[in-house]
Chain A
Amino acid sequence: MAMITADPKDVPQVASFEWTAENLAIAKGFVAQYPAGRQASAVIACLDLAQRQSGGWLPRVAMDHVAKFLDMAPIRVYEIATFYTMFSLKPRGKYLLQVCTTTPCWLRGSDAVMKACREVTGVGPGEVSADGLFSTMEVECLGACVNAPMIQINDTFYEDLDETSTKKVLEALKRGETPKPGPQVDRQTSAPVGGPTTLSTIRSE
């Protein structure tokens, strides 16, 4: 039975939220993109900024601050924040692993990728790892089918994965390194593995 919990009661209490000086300027830039009086249009961009500022999730105070900043009723902001899956109302790990499990990735072995994530982080989808580094999410198609299977880690795509390469990427993150984004096999973006097979005579001068 689906039990609905839009308001997570077990989230930590955050006392206050204020834009940092830098983010305030960015948020004002978002508002400036819309006609005067239409500042509420910037709500999604502002919520995303607030989420980044608060470490990957949106405490209530952050939503209230955005509401005040954009002169909206708080409930209108809650509606948006609860609607979009890109906003989290619970704390997340430092790295959000969005594992694509839609058909192309699944056919190419997303189950193994998921297994690797589970083994390295020790937690399944919807949970935060004990060291606070990772949280995993099963997502629908992220539009990188040609490089399936793939995961999105925060803002970066890691593609052409298998169990070993996934583990390698995650272990690197654990060590505090930044693994090379994109395909994890010998491949230039979405070109064929092992180099181009057609148009090989055309050269750029």
Chain B
Amino acid sequence: MPKMKIDGIEIEVPAGITVIQACELAGVEIPRFCYHERLSIAGNCRMCLVEQEKAPKPIASCAMPVAEGMVIKTDTPLVKKARNGVMEFLLINHPLDCPICDQGGECDLQDQAMAYGFDRTRYHENKRAVPDKDLGPIVKTSMNRCIQCTRCVRFATEVAGVEELGATGRGEGMEITTYVQKTLTSELSGNIVDLCPVGALTSKPYAFNARSWELRKTESVDVMDALGSNIRVDTRGAEVMRVLPRVNEDVNEEWISDKTRHAIDGLKRQRLDQPYVRRDGKLKPASWGEAFAAIAERMGKIKSAGIAAIAGDQCDAESMVALKDLMAALGAKGVECRQDGTQLQAGPRGGYIFNAGIAGIDKADLILLIGTDPRAEAPVLNARIRRRALNGGLKVGVIGEAPEDLTYPVERLGASAKALDDLGAFGEALKAAKTPMIIVGQGALARPDGAAILAKARALATVRDDWNGFCVLHTAAARVGGLDLGLTLDGGVEGVLKGCEDGSIELVYLLAADEIDTKRLGKAFVVYQGHHGDSGAHRADVILPGAAYTEKPGVYVNTEGRVQLAKRASYPPGEAREDWAILRALSGVLNKPLPYDTLEQVRARLVAVNPVFAAIDLQKPGAWGAFGKDGAASDAPLRSTIANFYMTCPISRSSRVMADCTALRRASLAVAAE
């Protein structure tokens, strides 16, 4: 632990860090453009110059390792003069277009120019002009503003794993480009907008929409995949303007996927903003009273055992527990939350969560992916596996039809679950590994032999006191919460649909459940409570308009079993209401009032049903026990349940940006196939 002195502060810092990090530990802020703590060191912007005693000239603090007895000064006239000079150079070619630049107000260059800028220019030559690049529907470029910090190049190369961006040319002719004029093929490309310290890369869907100081910022949790990425929802009035990542080292670090970031324009389309009741075969607008009355009337006519409910993939835990309690009060069959037909059971928690934790990937020395395509199912998690792979000493095996490029080298062990029976040399490596991870995806579980594959995967997993390597990667944000609440029925969603077809189920309550085959609902009376006019609403007999994830406070449990709180960022449109409140109101109309009237009481009820809901933002391996079912696996290939990353839920299906991304991806796949 070297001891050093920074601006007179004596400090002991960990060996191997750089001066800029030591300064941060000492509480001294150093201006920087190219340095980013999650990317490799470039040292090319020169903004972080500091004075080191006995050094002949200022040093770039981001690239200088700390050493014993170093004396650093960051507030001397020399440092100030050096940074002023660097800033003047950076501004030689930077356009003075801050008033029309989307970065304005949250621009590193703008901020630091306030401290180090020169108020006139000494350069009278024309500024250089750089053609703008087309990086796809997510990233807008204005390359004249680029200061060549190369953060975007390093992000694409190191984190996203798509080596497509580069800096070509030299000197004044240097530019950031893909050179071959193609768009980025990454699910994480939106992050380069956050990384860009100037306005060269800005968000295309958000272009010229708002200024950062007009927005109200709300901390929330993403529901586009099961990772539960921590997000910040920026709203102006009732409108969600943008979604940005929030730092959570254990979940998403500071990245989010393009779907998380840009599916939000889907929140404005296809919304259900008032109740509807089907009369004479057509859905007609109705009042809440009429809608509830229609449900009550139908329920009065049927046996309570003929009622079943399906909870959707993006539901908050509050609405799911209210639905569970309502169904119990009615004496109904119950609630099913496994829309994709996964064979997971609500048994021991260790059997359905990502036990090792997302941060556990950093510790893994071997990863076996079974029936999953993490790049499509959880791109941020995939980036973490990539980083672990880059650090060396990681072996990754794949069983199933994972895509060609997962951004890290993999060993393909077979397309079907038969490969689990004989892993060959990989099996030896698995036995020898100290911290192996078995990651099971829904592609392996949402099929008739899913329980058998689950049992086989369980047998392979290393479970010790200090390591549980059995990991289930979910694709639905609500799934672990649903399983924690025990929302399973014998026969699963297939049983419910069969019941509808043969008439034994006469009323189905869909809580934002759209991923089922609605044609198979038969003659059942369908109540749809949700926020989008997707497949569930089209089939419904009564529609109760609910709230999307940004419009209600909610509890979500991510794939690793971490309970997270999302705050309300805006309000549901029109007459739509929060989902648990709708169920509470309906229970009153049905004369089975639920025993809670406030959100706090619902959350207390959640904890009563399952104590895990009390441990907010904590992750630990679940209880271990017996799960899965012995049996033979078929030799049908394991295929991820996600065919198109950009469209997986009613919100992303309604999003124009996601549609553009889908079209682009299809076009590039078509070109590649030629």
Provide a sorted-by-A list of 12 A–B residue pairs whose CB atoms are within 8 angstroms.
A1-B128, A2-B128, A4-B175, A7-B180, A74-B180, A75-B165, A78-B168, A78-B179, A79-B167, A82-B169, A82-B170, A83-B168
- B181 at interface, CB cutoff 8 A: yes
CA distance A1 to B131 in the complex (A): 13
Is there an interface contact between A7 and B181, defined as CB atoms closer than 8 Å? yes
Given known contacts A1-B126, A4-B131, is B173 in contact with A75 (CB within 8 Å)? Answer: no
Is there an interface contact between A2 and B129, defined as CB atoms closer than 8 Å? yes
**Which of A1, A3, A6 gathers the greatest number of chain B CB atoms within 10 Å?**
A6
Nearest A residue to B131 by beta-carbon distance? A4
- A38 at interface, CB cutoff 8 A: no
Partner of A73, one of B128, B163, B175: B163
Contacts of A78 in B (CB 8 A): 166, 168, 179-180
Contacts of A1 in B (CB 8 A): 126-129
Interface residues of A in 62-98 (CB under 8 A from B): 73-76, 78-79, 82-83
Is there an interface contact between A76 and B177, defined as CB atoms closer than 8 Å? no
CA distance A174 to B166 in the complex (A): 41
Partner of A6, one of B127, B157, B165, B168: B168
CA distance A4 to B170 in the complex (A): 10
Count how many chain A residues have C-beta atoms less than 8 Å from C-beta atoms of the other chain. Answer: 16
Given known contacts A1-B126, A1-B129, is B166 in contact with A6 (CB within 8 Å)? Answer: no
Is there an interface contact between A7 and B179, defined as CB atoms closer than 8 Å? yes
Contacts of B129 in A (CB 8 A): 1-4
Nearest A residue to B172 by beta-carbon distance? A2
Nearest B residue to A3 by beta-carbon distance? B129
Contacts of A4 in B (CB 8 A): 128-131, 169, 172-173, 175
- B178 at interface, CB cutoff 8 A: yes
CA distance A83 to B179 in the complex (A): 13
- B164 at interface, CB cutoff 8 A: yes
Chain A 137-152 interface mask (CB, 8 Å, partner B; 1/0): 0000000000000000
Contacts of A74 in B (CB 8 A): 179-180
Is there an interface contact between A82 and B126, defined as CB atoms closer than 8 Å? no
Known contacts A75-B179, A78-B166, A78-B180; 6 further A-B pairs (Cβ under 8 A): A2-B129, A4-B128, A4-B173, A6-B169, A6-B175, A6-B179
Q: Determine how close the nearest CB of chain B comes to the CB of A202; give it in whole angstroms.
A: 46
CA distance A74 to B175 in the complex (A): 16
Contacts of A75 in B (CB 8 A): 163-166, 178-180
Q: Determine how close the nearest CB of chain B comes to the CB of A70; give it in whole angstroms.
A: 13
CA distance A5 to B174 in the complex (A): 10
Q: Determine how close the nearest CB of chain B comes to the CB of A93; give it in whole angstroms.
A: 23
Interface residues of A (CB under 8 A from B): 1-7, 60, 73-76, 78-79, 82-83
In the complex, the number of residue pairs spanning A and B with C-beta atoms less than 8 Å apart equals 59
List the 7 closest pairs (A to B, CB-CB), nearest first.
A73-B163, A75-B166, A82-B168, A1-B126, A78-B179, A6-B168, A79-B166
Given known contacts A76-B163, A79-B167, A83-B169, is B180 in contact with A6 (CB within 8 Å)? Answer: no
Interface residues of B in 117-159 (CB under 8 A from A): 126-131, 157
CA distance A45 to B460 in the complex (A): 49
CA distance A128 to B95 in the complex (A): 35
Is there an interface contact between A79 and B168, defined as CB atoms closer than 8 Å? yes
Contacts of A79 in B (CB 8 A): 166-168
Contacts of B172 in A (CB 8 A): 2, 4
Nearest A residue to B128 by beta-carbon distance? A2
Q: Determine how close the nearest CB of chain A comes to the CB of B159; give it in whole angstroms.
A: 15
Is there an interface contact between A83 and B170, defined as CB atoms closer than 8 Å? yes
Is there an interface contact between A76 and B128, defined as CB atoms closer than 8 Å? no
CA distance A78 to B175 in the complex (A): 12
Is there an interface contact between A6 and B126, defined as CB atoms closer than 8 Å? no
Nearest B residue to A81 by beta-carbon distance? B168
Contacts of A3 in B (CB 8 A): 129
Contacts of B173 in A (CB 8 A): 2, 4, 6
CA distance A56 to B129 in the complex (A): 29
CA distance A5 to B471 in the complex (A): 50
Partner of B164, one of A7, A73, A83: A73
Q: Determine how close the nearest CB of chain B comes to the CB of A159; give it in whole angstroms.
A: 28
Nearest B residue to A72 by beta-carbon distance? B163
Q: Determine how close the nearest CB of chain A comes to the CB of B420; give it in whole angstroms.
A: 32
Contacts of B177 in A (CB 8 A): 6-7
Contacts of A83 in B (CB 8 A): 168-170
Q: Determine how close the nearest CB of chain A comes to the CB of B477; give it in whole angstroms.
A: 34
Contacts of B180 in A (CB 8 A): 7, 60, 74-75, 78
CA distance A191 to B180 in the complex (A): 50
Nearest A residue to B165 by beta-carbon distance? A75
Nearest A residue to B166 by beta-carbon distance? A75
CA distance A76 to B128 in the complex (A): 24
CA distance A5 to B130 in the complex (A): 8
CA distance A74 to B172 in the complex (A): 23
CA distance A76 to B167 in the complex (A): 9
CA distance A3 to B178 in the complex (A): 18
Contacts of B165 in A (CB 8 A): 75
CA distance A73 to B179 in the complex (A): 12
CA distance A185 to B164 in the complex (A): 52
CA distance A22 to B129 in the complex (A): 43
CA distance A60 to B169 in the complex (A): 15
Contacts of B166 in A (CB 8 A): 75-76, 78-79
Nearest A residue to B143 by beta-carbon distance? A4
CA distance A74 to B166 in the complex (A): 10
**Which of B157, B177, B181 gathers the greatest number of chain A CB atoms within 10 Å?**
B177
Q: Determine how close the nearest CB of chain A comes to the CB of B19; give it in whole angstroms.
A: 28
CA distance A3 to B181 in the complex (A): 17
CA distance A1 to B128 in the complex (A): 6
**Which of A3, A5, A79 gathers the greatest number of chain B CB atoms within 10 Å?**
A79
CA distance A89 to B303 in the complex (A): 78
CA distance A4 to B165 in the complex (A): 17
Nearest A residue to B126 by beta-carbon distance? A1
Nearest B residue to A60 by beta-carbon distance? B180
Nearest A residue to B173 by beta-carbon distance? A4
Contacts of B178 in A (CB 8 A): 75
CA distance A200 to B177 in the complex (A): 61
Nearest A residue to B170 by beta-carbon distance? A83
CA distance A60 to B179 in the complex (A): 10
CA distance A83 to B163 in the complex (A): 18
Q: Determine how close the nearest CB of chain B comes to the CB of A64; give it in whole angstroms.
A: 9
CA distance A76 to B168 in the complex (A): 9
Q: Determine how close the nearest CB of chain B comes to the CB of A68; give it in whole angstroms.
A: 13
Interface residues of B in 234-293 (CB under 8 A from A): none
Q: Determine how close the nearest CB of chain A comes to the CB of B381; give it in whole angstroms.
A: 23
CA distance A78 to B130 in the complex (A): 18
CA distance A4 to B163 in the complex (A): 22
Contacts of A73 in B (CB 8 A): 157, 163-164
Contacts of B181 in A (CB 8 A): 7
CA distance A83 to B169 in the complex (A): 5
